[in-house]
Amino acid sequence: MSLLNIRNLTVCDRRTDEILIKDIHFEIDSNTCLGIVGESGSGKSVTCKAILGLANPWLEVTGQVLLEGNNLLNAEQETLRQIRGKRICMILQDAMTAFDPLYTIGCQMVETLCENGQYNKTDAKIIAMETLQKMYIREPRLVLKKYAHQLSGGMLQRCMIALAMALKPDILIADEPTTALDAINQREVIEEFQRLRQITGMAMIFISHDLGVVQHLADKILVMKDGEQVEYGPIEQVFEKPQHIYTRYLLDTRKALTKSFHEAMKVRRSNKC
Ligand SMILES: Nc1ncnc2c1ncn2[C@@H]1O[C@H](COP(=O)(O)OP(=O)(O)OP(=O)(O)O)[C@@H](O)[C@H]1O
Ligand SMILES: [Mg+2]
Residue 98 within a domain: no
- Whether residue 60 lies inside any domain: the answer is yes
Question: How much of the chain exceeds pLDDT 70, in percent?
Answer: 95
Does 228 contact ligand 1 (Cβ within 6 A)? Answer: no
Residues bordering ligand 2, an ion, CB closer than 5 Å = 44-45, 93
Give the model's pLDDT for residue 245.
95
Q: Is the CB of 45 within 6 Å of ligand 1?
A: yes
pLDDT for 44 equals: 96
**191-247 pLDDT per residue, tens:** 888 888 888 899 999 999 888 889 989 999 999 999 999 999 999 999 999 999 999
* DSSP designation for 168: -
Please give the residue range of the domain that contains residue 258: 1-76+209-273
The answer as to whether 58 is a domain residue is: yes
Task: Compute φ and ψ for 141, nearest 5 degrees.
Answer: -60, -45
Sequence-ordered list of residues with C-beta below 8 angstroms from that of 32, at least 6 positions apart, any chain: 203, 204, 219, 220
Rg (alpha carbons) of the chain, rounded to whole number: 20
Choice between 189 and 31, residue whose per-residue pLDDT is larger = 31
If one residue of 11, 45, 214 were mutated to test the ligand 1 pocket, choosing by the most ligand atoms within 8 A of its CB, it would be 45
Count of structural domains, the chain: 1
Q: Phi and psi dihedrals of 214, rounded to 5?
A: -65, -40
The DSSP string of 170-203 is SEEEEESTTTTS-HHHHHHHHHHHHHHHHHH--E
- Tell me, using a 6 A CB cutoff, whether residue 20 lines ligand 1: yes
Task: Look at residue 177 in the predicted model and tell me its pLDDT.
Answer: 85
Assigned domain for 23 exists:
yes
CATH classification at residue 13: 3.40.50.300
Tell whether the model's pLDDT for residue 180 goes beyond 90.
no
Confidence label for 265 from pLDDT (cuts 50, 70 and 90)? low
Task: Name the DSSP letter for residue 69.
Answer: T
Q: Is the CB of 77 under 6 A from ligand 1?
A: no
Query: Is residue 198 in some structural domain?
Result: no
Residue 262 has pLDDT above 80, yes or no: no
Beta-strand pair 4-13/59-67:
antiparallel
Give yes or no for residue 177 CB within 6 A of ligand 1: no
Burial of 63 (0-12, 13-18, 19+ CB in 10 A): buried
pLDDT interval class at 187 (50, 70, 90): confident
Q: How many CB atoms lie within 10 A of CB 28?
A: 20
Q: How far is the CA of 45 from the centre of ligand 1 (A)?
A: 6
Report how far residue 157's alpha carbon sits from residue 179's, in angstroms, rounded to the nearest whole number: 9
Answer yes or no: is 48 within a domain: yes
Query: Cα separation of 134 and 155, whole Å?
Result: 13
Question: What is the pLDDT, as a whole number, of residue 96?
Answer: 80
Mean pLDDT of the 42-57 span: 95
Residue 90: inside a domain: no
Nearest CA to ligand 1 atom 16: 43
Ligand 1 probe mutation, 12, 18, 20, most atoms within 8 A of CB = 20
Query: Which residue CA neighbors atom 14 of ligand 1 most closely?
Result: 43
pTM: 0.89
Tell whether the model's pLDDT for residue 3 goes beyond 80.
Answer: yes
- 69 located within any domain: yes
